[in-house]
Amino acid sequence: MREALLIPLSWLYAIGVAIRHWLYDHHLLPSVSVSVPTICVGNLAVGGTGKTPHVELLVRLLREHGWRVAVLSRGYKRKTRGFVLADEQATARTIGDEAMQIHEKFPDVAVAVCESRVHGVHQLQRRVEGLDVVVLDDAMQHRSIRCGLTILLTPFNRLYIDNHLLPWGTLRDLKCRALKADIVVVSKCPDNMQPIDKRVVDNRLHLPTYQHLYFSDLRYAPITAEGTPLVVCGIAQPAYLEEHIRGLYPNAEMMTFADHHDYRDKDLQAILDRARHFDFVLTTEKDAQRLRLTPLVEQLAAMGKRLVTLPVEVRLIHDAEGFARQVLTYVSENRRLTNDQRPTINA
């Protein structure tokens, strides 16, 4: 019954999205290319594909090869507006939890947030000397900017071809938009993924020849705290995290909240009430950015417990060298064009 009600709403949503793309495709809405190499990391769904760890992977790769990289995102649920460049006073309130996570890990990298990706890139070009490349976090739906290299993420347990548009499913964009990606990464793959599993996914996606397919998984850092944790997380699609935790701590308890959850006093009290029955509280890097802005750390300390953060990184499990080569080649070739004063192209 519920599905019968949601399907027509998805059709209406599809019409609205299709009209928006038509306006861009026929140049009735402006779309521009900027004069600096841009790499977009995005997805078709509303969340849960691991965009932030993949952005961090790109930052590490580009820095290791000597490129001056900047990261630009929207800064979801931040309390500020306009262009904000992260500095020593930055918090999840000023730049958002995901941007703050990246800034904390890479303090020497320019991390900025802006609703307008075009304006944000122009500001970074003005403020970051010797800028070589900008990584755009979650910008596939931002047609106002034409990215040079687009990386589409889709989770192993729910490929975009098996999903549906909102509100029936979790897709926020048309499946055909996947054809605009240069690279498709199947994320959150199982640890024991076999070559036959990769072939099955490859055959099911049936990508055109110009697209390159890669696979990645998430690698969580070892947990040094002893005992059994209460796990607190506000992320999209927490099943991957829960599976990892259950493998380590069968008696752990999960307290899950909505993605980018703004922790209120009642939430903190609920966490404290449950924390009394566990040895420590474990949370994600993204949640830690928001929880540190609350009294929770001090309140836990008063109980003789502590908040432990679980770092995570992305590992490419199929042709990592090919992925790196494709990314670096794009930056190298387009940086030369930039240095030769490549003109801005209007779509």
Domain residues of the chain, as ranges? 2-218+315-339, 229-310
The pLDDT value given to residue 1: 64
How far is Cα 173 from Cα 10, in angstroms, rounded to an integer?
Answer: 11
Give the helix/strand (H/E) hosting 121.
helix 117-127
**2-218+315-339 belongs to which homologous superfamily?**
P-loop containing nucleotide triphosphate hydrolases (3.40.50.300)
The length of the chain, given as a count of residues: 347
Other CB atoms within 10 A of residue 298 CB: 9
**Where residue 339 falls among pLDDT bands split at 50, 70, 90?**
low
293: tokens are 């802005």
CATH of domain 229-310: 3.40.50
**Where residue 2 falls among pLDDT bands split at 50, 70, 90?**
confident
The pLDDT value given to residue 343: 38
Mind listing the pLDDT tens digit for each residue in 115-136? 999 999 999 999 999 999 999 9
How wide is the angle at C-alpha 239 spanned by C-alphas 78 and 306, nearest 5°? 65
Whether 2-218+315-339 shares its CATH topology with 229-310 is answered yes
Least confident of 51-65, 240-254, 290-304, 328-342: 328-342
Helix and strand numbers (H, E) in the chain are: 11, 13
The pLDDT value given to residue 346: 35
What's the maximum distance between 2 C-alpha atoms anywhere in the chain? 63
Q: What is the DSSP letter of 185?
A: E
- Summary mean pLDDT of the chain: 94
Q: pLDDT over 90 for what percent of the chain? A: 93
Strands 84-85 vs 110-113: parallel, antiparallel or unpaired: antiparallel
89: tokens are 């006073």
Instruction: List the one residue out of 314, 317, 326 whose CA is nearest residue 51.
Output: 314
Mind listing the pLDDT tens digit for each residue in 56-95? 999 999 999 999 999 999 999 999 999 999 999 999 999 9
How far is Cα 347 from Cα 345, in angstroms, rounded to an integer?
Answer: 6
Residue 186, strand partner residues? 154, 215
The pLDDT value given to residue 342: 41
